[in-house]
Structure 1
Amino acid sequence: DARASAGHARQFTVDATTSFIGAAAECPSLESIVVRSGIEVYGRHQGSLTRPDETTPVRPSSEYGHMLARLESAARDAGRMVGVPVTALRLAPVLGPHVPSPLGRLLRHPVVPFSLLADPPFTVVEDSDAARAFVAAAERRLDQPVNVVAPGAITGLQALRRGKRIPLPLVGPEWVLARAVSHLMGAPMPDHVMEVMHRGRLADGSAAADLLGVAPSISTAAVIDLLYAWPGIVRVTRPVEAVA
């Protein structure tokens, strides 16, 4: 959730991957493996495809992307060892009212940076659409990756205008300073989130409907609108009992 350092997050991911996949591989009734990956595995290198599909080589350019690529590799190795199919769901950044998301936290700040020179588009996916993809993947038992992204795209500036946030235009080195300030404000900006705002992040999700039988129905713009509609504070009131 971006509140751990990159080193701790990497170690937590390695430990969790080893524990969960190792335990699953020892289960005699195991029929398939579905892992949560992300479109960050494609990377945003110079010359990278703008909208990669599932046949695009994995070439991550962020620490989170590398962690996801290692997770996919570990799952494939376990699947081959026990002879079960492995589905890697490569999700766009997931946003939902109860989903810890560094991108969501950043976009909800009153002042949010965006790339002045490019303002590239990105996509997301709503948490309920992502959940349906997991259920479908478990039923289909595919042995391949599947991109799961919401229809459409949006730029950073467009998202901020929809949320009535104050846009802070940045160029080049200013992003390093913005990342430090964002951390101090309580919304850490890991490198994969900075990539989204600075270089964009899209993927071709057209195969999902055929492969999974379902596809995200909530558009990227609608997911962003929902992000800004969620209350910042949920107050829980206690019933007051009358005392005679």
Structure 2
Amino acid sequence: MIQKKRSVLITGVCTPWGGKLARLLENDPDFNIILGLDYKKPEFPLRKTEFFQVDLHNPLIAELIKTSEVDTVCHLQFMDAYSHSEEIFDLNVMGAQSLLAACAAGEVPRVLFMSDTMVYGGSSRNPCFLEETADFKGQYRHPYVRDRWEVEKLLAKFSREYPEIKTTILRFANILGPDVDTPMRRYLEAPAVPMVFGFDPMFQFTHEEDVVAALYHALKSDAHGVFNVAGQGAMPIGQVLRVGRRVPVPFGAPFLRMSNFFVQKTPVADYIPIETDFLKYTFVGDTTRMKEVLGFKPKFTSKQTVIDFFEHLRILGYIPKRGEIETAPEAHEQLQEYINSMRRINEAIQGLQ
């Protein structure tokens, strides 16, 4: 019996996660149709992926899902907002709502969403390890956390209304890596890092390579439900700063909270990317379901992720900034095409000898 090839739609295909996932699927013979959506054009080549530059409110997405017989919609389009923005809220939350409506109308069998363990919130009532069924106890003052929380509420309602559609949510913990811009990266990049006086909470971390690997693994598997995803172990934030040779600058919690409130309304909002409660209270996710139900094991532990991240920052300091010395964007493809043509010529000559 011939196994039917799979069809997948990826939103946010221009994000680091969407682009790398699409290229993995392009090399996977199990996937026949790969559709990519984003509001901007990709800056990298896509060989098999059919790309459409549309936003998630487009009414034709439901018809695209149905006619292409998409078996999984993988939603990765999300923008971390560090100040209040109606446009970003529309992209993150209202866009997700429109996509879910399209999934229902298109009768897709499964949806896969990328989320964050920060949706649990920072609270003194948090247990040592948060299971996926734990209540959300955060204040959600920061836009990027609030938007994730809003999307998860939409997903919970969607799952109740359409139980026939399998829903998979991967909640990643504090993503770090050389090629991604995340709230945790922005927090740790500065030489002097703010902390809450008298608090040293535990943090989990997920390497960017493990994020793509987990998405690919979840897409290939039949597992559904909610899964915390993080590298093994956890570290106090003070130890993280010592590994990176960062200078901790302790402040009182009321001062940091007030600073967050006012700075979010200014152009320098990027410089306070972490909610104060996360610097006070532990929000470590229980990864038992990740290992036993999803069957995924991250390559990097939390400590290895932190070490690799700071090593990248150290090396980055030695790389000179580009000025007049530039390489043409198409040079790599031209070189590769020339090398391939020379190989064919050499093989033909050898065949005549």
- Specify which structure has the bigger relative contact order, considering alpha-carbon pairs within 8 angstroms and separated by 6 or more residues: 1
Equivalent residue for 1:25, pick from 89, 104, 115:
104
Q: TM-score, normalised on structure 2?
A: 0.59
1:62 equivalenced with 2:145 (yes/no)? no
Unaligned runs of 5+ in 2: 1-79, 329-353
Does 165-174 or 54-63 show the bigger shift?
A: 54-63
Shift, 1:223, TM fit: 1.2
Match of 1:14 in 2: 93
Shift, 1:146, TM fit: 0.6
Does 155-164 or 60-69 show the bigger shift?
A: 60-69
Which of structures 1 and 2 has the bigger CA Rg? 2
Match of 2:121 in 1: 43
Shift, 1:73, TM fit: 3.4
After TM superposition, the structure 1 = structure 2 runs for residues 221-236 of structure 1, keeping only pairs within 5 Å, are 221-230=303-312, 231=316, 235=321
Between the aligned partners of 1:65 and 1:181, the Cα distance in structure 2 is: 16
Match of 2:345 in 1: none
Match of 1:214 in 2: 296
1:90 equivalenced with 2:178 (yes/no)? no
Shift, 1:117, TM fit: 0.7
SS in 2 for 1:199: coil
Between the aligned partners of 1:207 and 1:96, the Cα distance in structure 2 is: 24
Shift, 1:155, TM fit: 1.8
TM-align CA RMSD: 2.9
What amino acid does structure 2 have at the position aligned with 1:225?
I
Equivalent residue for 1:75, pick from 134, 155, 167:
155
Equivalent residue for 2:112, pick from 34, 50, 53:
34
Between the aligned partners of 2:153 and 2:291, the Cα distance in structure 1 is: 25
Between the aligned partners of 1:77 and 1:185, the Cα distance in structure 2 is: 35
Q: TM-score, normalised on structure 1?
A: 0.82
Does 126-135 or 170-179 show the bigger shift?
A: 170-179
- Percent identical among aligned pairs is 23
Aligned residues: 238
What amino acid does structure 1 have at the position aligned with 2:151?
L
Unaligned runs of 5+ in 1: none
Q: Quick check: 1:86–1:142 contact (8 Å CA) kept in 2?
A: no
Between the aligned partners of 2:86 and 2:282, the Cα distance in structure 1 is: 25
